[in-house]
Structure 1
Amino acid sequence: MIHQIVRRSHVDDSHLPDTLSPLLKQIYASRGAKAQECELSLGQLLKPDTMAGLTLAAEIIADAMADNKHILIMGDFDADGATSTSVCMLALRMMAAQKVDYLIPNRFDFGYGLSPEIVQVAQRKGAQLLITVDNGISSIEGVEAAKALGMQVVITDHHLPGKELPNADAIVNPNQVDCGFASKAIAGVGVAFYLMSALRAELRGRNWYQKHDIIEPNLAQLLDIVALGTVADVVPLDNNNRILVEMGLKRVRAGRCRVGITALLEVAKRTPSRVVASDFGFTVGPRLNAAGRLDEMALGVETLLCEDVIQARRMAAQLDSLNMERRELEQEMQQEALKSLNSLTLDTASLPWGIALFQADWHQGVIGILASRIKDKYHRPVIAFADAGKGEIKGSARSIKGLHMRDLLELINSRHPGMILKFGGHAMAAGLSMRGDDFPAFSDAYDQAIRDTIEPELLTGEYLSDGELTPNELTMAVATELRHAGPWGQAFAEPLFDGHFKIIQQRIVGEKHLKLVLETECGRVMLDAIAFNVDLQTWPDASIQHAKLVYKLDVNEFRGNQSLQLLIEQIEAV
């Protein structure tokens, strides 16, 4: 699908410092950056005192530590959940908690969140205080089960709450109605980090460190993990999240990060000293996620907790193997899904507004990635379902800009009570479960709800471009400046440009990637470029000598050498 190119309007950038290049000033200004946001530092982080429930939660945990209670961290099976769990485990150990452990539910046996069934497992482990991370805000029954067994429960989460909140001893979630914390986009790992910071202050007030003859810990040591979880969860990079990510990346570049993260970067063939946010998002995050998707996320947590370099490399290799297995599964499922769609007459008029797909042998751990791939291809909101046993199916949804997926599921649920058994999530991603027999009726209801909610213009994909670069700007110096001007990510998009180029050479590499040598139309600059996963029915084609590109400037690293390369997002023959 060829997306239309929309160029960003020129905006006033006079409020930004003149130490920035004119190009970077305009890029920053177009993303709404304020002057003080150009220099990211820990001192600019939002203060924790506006996060509702934080003080109470810290007091409960400090009391549990003083009473030597068994504290159990209840994590989630994705990268945000693994990093959140790791941050709490490491921080509590640094603060001399005597009895602390973690539990990540196997998604295929226990599903998502703090369920009554996983509470039984927690009881067998001797848990007296449960701390959920990256989950729990919708676990009404699970919290009741824990309370009935005499456990205390502290919920930390960032997902949108429902109408009813669990009856926990404390809830920390910036998306609660009564929470004044300004960063509503913070990831679960960010919430966990803030809680551990509040706990550190609470213990300081109790003279805990002197009593236990330990040095008050520097929690900045954990920012590499916070950065990884924040980027991997694809939350919007508001200023607070950008600070957390940038400070974590600086630790990695300086060689002061967890050996597990270094091992994951190495197995992904990334150089730690030159790491950027996209390395976390596209290489480390997927490998960490693979454990939760196909196996047990405990492997991911143990990699992050590991202190031994050799063991960390061994576990990183296991995660890499799982990721390759995940990619093979995903490709098979994607081919099957595309076959189903290709049975339709694939034009704009006949495609459903909302695509719902189900196949009984699809793997639950990969349907989210599948939904994302199909969404990218057709620019339609997609839900992919897999069999969950006992007559139920589970779906993973991915949305498009302008359609809030969780709110859409809420609308369907209100129109068809009982059709959806459980749902939750964010604007761009959500999950749900339902009876398999209801899938055909749900598909129709889903499509109709989308038609009633958005305008058809939103179904036209677009690239938001920062404009055309001059030949003088197509340089390594500019590419390096942009690379280090991040962190770039969700809602603080990496610079994207467009322009016309002459094609000098073209060939396929790696079976489906188009490698190009280009020349600017004026003939002044020769450039290398690559387009991944091209349509092999169209490319390569020697008769095509000019193309309109949407691209990013990239610093390509190969065998220790660096060179300028265009990363092509869209190529259109002209």
Structure 2
Amino acid sequence: MASSADGLRGLTAPRIRRRSVDVRGEWPDSVPPLLRRIYAARGADDPVLAQPKLAQLPSPDALGGLDVAVALLSDAIARDARILVVGDFDADGATACALAVRGLRMLGAREVVHAVPNRMVHGYGLSPGLVGELVGLKPELLVTVDHGVACHAGVGAAKVLGWKVLVTDHHLPGDALPPADAIVNPNLRGDGFPCKALAGVGVLFYVLLALRRHLREAGAFAGAVPDLSTLLDLVAVGTVADLVPLDATNRALVSAGLRRLRAGQGCAGLQALIEVSGRKAGALTAADIGFAVAPRLNAAGRLEDMSLGIECLLTDDPGHAGELAAQLHRINAERRGVQQVMVDEAEAALAAVPAPGTGAPAMAVCLFDPEWHPGVVGLVASKLKERLHRPVVAFAPAEPGSEQLRGSARSIPGLHVRDALAAVDARHPGLVERFGGHAMAAGLSLRRERFAAFEQAFAEAVRNMLDPALLQSELVTDGELSPAEFDRFHADALRDGGPWGQGFPEPLFDGVFDVADWRVVGERHLKLVLRGEGIATPINAIHFGGWTGERPAARCRLAYRLAPDHYRGGQAIQLIVEHLAPALDPGPLL
């Protein structure tokens, strides 16, 4: 195990900061005061901003590259030319691939096939090796979804073969663009589309909207115009899974998709994944997608082949969908086991590093283990980033015994990690072979012998770009709940008031409670019975991963979420504890 972790032991507890609230605007009586102040704290001063609808979506007209993209697709449909959709091996890429196949068929394409790279064999994106394997499919138009803007060699290889190439992507571009016939990406320089936060699946949905309008105006539909809103279940899952900010556009898309899923109108594969994850479709939330549905879909791409996940999303046979979902569920269980071993090994390595007596703690962490699995390093980086509140990059061999390393980076607010990698690349040309990503997550590859050099270069880039004050972890809450708000009405209102997620955080509250009873469940979790001032009845709470080996204090300050208790049913509620500390020593409270 190689790591850079000096001084990471003894990090301070998170600071609790309460959001400032200034409730304004006109609100209907159906929106309770609790939701009004939560919306206001997130910058939504009226129902239009708080709960955006599909009718408010920005027009596709401002999205650059659409005219050429639509011309390529409409021409291929008119000629019955074979269209090859190439997806990616995460949930955004899988849902975008399924959306493209389903949507193009709805719009009249009869020759649509799809493919996806294998993480272990091809690496990320459209590579020349993958293109070589796709020659037998004989496509005339290749469409990338959720990747392509950084795949210069792969796009070039496809063009050499005489294929047209349409890139649809949302990742940040480099200084040069690949030689595609058309590129649709709201993050291209100078693109005027107002929503820069679309996931890959959202970009593809906009391409389909523009294509449908063109075909309708050309009189291509003899009967009813295809209803693309029936595909929003896929858009919702991919958007939530990719952790893009839920701005007004993404919230409108996710809300509409959630309504379909709750009504049992999702595709057979998503309905099967909801069932196998133990969630209730009628009460599904964005958090359920993020923590239950998406991980099962992602597991195929992490440990095996995402083609299994895409097949699950494309089948219309409920029986087959159930069988595929069961396979994904088993793969996810294996993934969780591999992930836990890797996280335990990483934490053991960090704990073994002597803490210096003086000096500032490390601002970033790089980890590598020759036995780790490349499909799970992103999850390891994410877990350690949450616990250490430091940017983390975790590496594994691209394949067993390989000298090529694949890394996943996860960041904290205040550090744009892709920009940090770009700074490393600019200062040390050739050190990083490939990289790409977003503000909070990125991927990269380098040679094993260059790990130590990258460690130093990345630490230097972080020191130059990150304000050390931001290394103090912080829990931002919506303050206290009144005694009258600890009920099922408000728990349901919070659940249904979303979707909540990146950029529009799920409501979190804090307060002091007496611990009336407690027990350990599942070896790692803490089950609590709480009493609060002015609250008539005891409240049940669960702190996942909260068992530290020591009994909780009799009086504690909690940061928590209020949720319906579906297990007990009826009017039962529970608190989902995010942070617990003795009330006499709660840490800074601002």
Q: Shorter-chain TM-score category?
A: over 0.9
| 2:367 alignment partner in structure 1 | 357
| 2:21 alignment partner in structure 1 | 10
% identical aligned pairs? 47
- CA–CA distance in structure 2, aligned partners of residues 534 and 448 of structure 1: 34
Q: 2:497 aligns with which of 462, 482, 485?
A: 485
The answer to whether the Cα contact below 8 Å between 1:399 and 1:428 also exists between their aligned partners in 2 is yes
The answer to whether the Cα contact below 8 Å between 1:345 and 1:351 also exists between their aligned partners in 2 is no
Change (3 A) 1:83 1:523: closer
The answer to whether the Cα contact below 8 Å between 1:153 and 1:170 also exists between their aligned partners in 2 is yes
| 1:405 alignment partner in structure 2 | 417
Higher relative contact order (CA 8 A, sep 6+): 2
| 1:249 alignment partner in structure 2 | 258
Q: 1:370 aligns with which of 374, 380, 395?
A: 380
| 2:138 alignment partner in structure 1 | 126
SS at match of 1:420: coil
| 2:35 alignment partner in structure 1 | 24
SS at match of 1:430: strand
The answer to whether the Cα contact below 8 Å between 1:72 and 1:122 also exists between their aligned partners in 2 is no
The answer to whether the Cα contact below 8 Å between 2:58 and 2:249 also exists between their aligned partners in 1 is yes
- Gap regions ≥5 residues in structure 2: 1-11, 584-590
- Gap regions ≥5 residues in structure 1: none
| 2:513 alignment partner in structure 1 | 501
1:428-507 alignment to 2 at 5 Å?
428-507=440-519
Shift of 1:15: 5.1
Describe the superposition over 1:44-103 as per-residue Cα deviations: whole angstroms up to 9, x where unpaired: 111111110112101111101112211000100000000000001001111221211001
Give the counterpart letter for 1:199 in structure 2.
Answer: L
Shift of 1:460: 0.6
1:273-352 alignment to 2 at 5 Å?
273-345=282-354, 349=359, 351-352=361-362
Shift of 1:403: 0.4
Shift of 1:262: 0.9
| 1:135 alignment partner in structure 2 | 147
Give the counterpart letter for 2:195 in structure 1.
Answer: S
The answer to whether the Cα contact below 8 Å between 2:483 and 2:535 also exists between their aligned partners in 1 is no
Describe the superposition over 1:509-548 as per-residue Cα deviations: whole angstroms up to 9, x where unpaired: 111100000000346341000001124323x35xx21001
1:130-279 alignment to 2 at 5 Å?
130-210=142-222, 215-279=224-288
The answer to whether the Cα contact below 8 Å between 1:79 and 1:289 also exists between their aligned partners in 2 is yes
Change (3 A) 1:523 1:19: closer
SS at match of 2:578: strand
What number of residue pairs does the alignment pair up? 568
The answer to whether the Cα contact below 8 Å between 1:423 and 1:432 also exists between their aligned partners in 2 is yes
Shift of 1:561: 4.5
SS at match of 2:566: strand
- CA–CA distance in structure 1, aligned partners of residues 374 and 398 of structure 2: 8
| 1:380 alignment partner in structure 2 | 390
- CA–CA distance in structure 2, aligned partners of residues 5 and 298 of structure 1: 43
SS at match of 2:213: helix
Give TM-score scaled by structure 2 length: 0.94
Question: Are positions 1:113 and 2:125 aligned together?
Answer: yes
The answer to whether the Cα contact below 8 Å between 2:52 and 2:251 also exists between their aligned partners in 1 is yes
Give the counterpart letter for 1:382 in structure 2.
Answer: V
- CA–CA distance in structure 2, aligned partners of residues 352 and 124 of structure 1: 51
- CA–CA distance in structure 2, aligned partners of residues 458 and 18 of structure 1: 40
Give TM-score scaled by structure 1 length: 0.96
Q: 1:69 aligns with which of 81, 84, 101?
A: 81
- CA–CA distance in structure 1, aligned partners of residues 237 and 335 of structure 2: 20
| 1:557 alignment partner in structure 2 | 566
SS at match of 2:260: helix
Shift of 1:121: 1.7
Give the counterpart letter for 1:432 in structure 2.
Answer: L
The answer to whether the Cα contact below 8 Å between 1:58 and 1:198 also exists between their aligned partners in 2 is yes
- CA–CA distance in structure 2, aligned partners of residues 545 and 345 of structure 1: 34
Change (3 A) 1:274 1:346: farther
Describe the superposition over 1:169-191 as per-residue Cα deviations: whole angstroms up to 9, x where unpaired: 11000001121111100100001
Give the counterpart letter for 2:252 in structure 1.
Answer: I
The answer to whether the Cα contact below 8 Å between 1:156 and 1:171 also exists between their aligned partners in 2 is yes
Change (3 A) 1:346 1:305: farther
Give the counterpart letter for 2:137 in structure 1.
Answer: K
Bigger mean CA deviation after superposition, 88-97 or 401-410: 88-97
| 1:33 alignment partner in structure 2 | 44
Bigger mean CA deviation after superposition, 524-533 or 557-566: 557-566
Bigger mean CA deviation after superposition, 173-182 or 338-347: 338-347
| 1:567 alignment partner in structure 2 | 576
Shift of 1:443: 0.9
